[in-house]
Amino acid sequence: MTAFTVDGAYSGFSVDDIDAAREFYGTTLGLDVETNQMGFLDLRLPSGASILVYSKPNHEPASFTILNFPVDDIDAAVDDLISRGVHTKIYDDADFPSDERGIVRGTGGPDIAWFRDPAGNVLAVMQA
């Protein structure tokens, strides 16, 4: 018998304002968001995965992409995000040369555009 198991493993990240996170992830992005018994958020992805979003008073935004959204049409996805008030050009062109909407193309990886949640964490939409 083993005490440690990987069943039920999940990922999580912090934010500085749980209400702003609920609004952004639930309303702006359209994810299934539930408040759990501890007052944290459970993001339920269509794949069945769950991500814990917790409030942290000394939150510092992640310096890496915490959540990726693969899409069939990155141009349409970026246009949709912009129409929802999401800013997708978050990096200087010296760091990541991109078009006026923030889409980085032709780098050997997928076409990608990064954006931030209200807590400053980085997310990405990428061509699948």
- Residue-wise pLDDT for 67-125, tens only, equals 999 999 999 999 999 999 999 999 888 888 999 999 999 888 899 999 999 999 999 99
Q: What percent of the chain has pLDDT over 90?
A: 80
104 and 115 in contact (C-beta within 8 Å)? no
Query: pLDDT confidence of 1, banded at 50, 70, 90?
Result: low
Flag the least confident range among 21-25, 49-53, 91-95: 91-95
Residue-level pLDDT at 41:
97
* Placement of tokens 């299934």 in the chain: 32
What is the pLDDT averaged over residues 55-76?
A: 95
Looking at per-residue pLDDT, the higher value among 115 and 10 belongs to: 115
DSSP string, 50-78: EEEEEE-TT----SSEEEEEEES-HHHHH
Q: Residue 110's CB: how many other CB atoms inside 10 A? A: 16
23 and 30 in contact (C-beta within 8 Å)? no
Residue-level pLDDT at 16:
97
48 and 7 in contact (C-beta within 8 Å)? no
Taken in order 113, 117, 123, 128, the sign of the CA dihedral is negative
Query: pLDDT confidence of 42, banded at 50, 70, 90?
Result: very high
Average pLDDT, the chain: 93
